[in-house]
Amino acid sequence: MDQIYLFDVDGTLTEPRHPIDPDFGRFFGRFCRTHPVYLVSGSDLPKLQEQLPRSIIASANGVFSCSAAELWVDGKTIYQMDHEFPKELIEALESFVELSCYPRRFGNHIEYRTGMLNVSVVGRNAQKSDRQTYFAWDRQEEERAGFIKLFVETFSEYEASAGGEISIDIVPKGWNKSRALAVLKQDAPTGTITFFGDRMEPGGNDYPLAEALRNDSHRHRVMSVENFNETWDLLKTVRSPRNEILRQAS
């Protein structure tokens, strides 16, 4: 594989926690059938199956779920890396949810996934409008950024990063999306990887992989997008496996 396309899901291929747009889904399905494509997400596989049709998941060369703690190929588990989180860490997350100044809660605030924890003040049961309300509030108040800073100072053996609109991903140090790069380099040591993601900023859960790609080789490309429409526009410029994307994120 000379060229590999690697995609985050929430905010990159879909609206957060929503099924892929039908028109874009048909376009992206065709793209997956003609280009080497991998998916990398903080979500687990069942959640990805709620957002993406079976045909897209089946067409992908591989699916890195749970921030690359799992790899699935042709519906089979290639590896899973699990971790037992200490009691005091979980208690700190519970306190974060309880003591937040944000006034509304909708349930499912701490979710365990393979090798990671996902914590959300507003809760993963929140509907789209409630998620967007919290996201707007958080952008102003920077609650998640403040907690991430405090968390990594307190628990130095762990990482925390903002994921999607409402949550924070907690993983052991080094257990982030950047692990996907090592796997892809084994399969295609001289390949060029183009990565699409919406949380490339420091503290975002796409940032470790973006930095790993930048540091690994100038061949790789990191494409920062804000929504699936931007991803769609960029992919329209790819005419064939030999036609490179010319616009590169700074």
CB atoms within 10 A of CB 193: 25
Nearest alpha carbon to residue 227 among 125, 127, 123, 132: 132
Low-confidence ranges of the chain (pLDDT < 50): 242-250
Residue 8 among the catalytic residues: yes
Does the domain at residues 3-81+177-235 carry the CATH identifier 3.50.50.60?
A: no
Please tell me the pTM assigned to this model. 0.88
CATH annotation of 87-172: 3.30.1240.20
First and final C-alpha spacing in the chain: 25
Name the active-site residue from 2, 8, 74, 169: 8
**Per-residue pLDDT at 241:** 53
| Sequence spans of domains, the chain | 3-81+177-235, 87-172
Output helix, strand, coil percentages for the chain, rounded to the nearest 5. Answer: 35, 20, 40
Please identify which of the residues 2, 10, 138, 233 carries the catalytic annotation. Answer: 10
CA separation, residue 175 to residues 66, 132, 178 (Å): 10, 28, 8
Estimate to the nearest angstrom the gap between the alpha carbon of 138 and the chain centroid. 19
Sign of the CA dihedral with 193 first, then 196, 197, and 200 last: positive
Residues 209 and 226: their CA atoms lie apart, in Å, by 17
Which amino acid does the sequence have at 188?
A: A
Which pLDDT tens digit goes with each residue over 160-198?
999 889 999 999 999 999 999 999 999 888 899 999 999
What contacts 194, CB < 8 A, 6 or more positions away? 3, 4, 5, 6, 220, 221, 223, 245
| Matching fold, domains 3-81+177-235 and 87-172 | no
pLDDT of residue 130: 96
* The CA-based dihedral angle spanning residues 112, 177, 48, 164, taken in that order and rounded to the nearest 10 degrees: 80
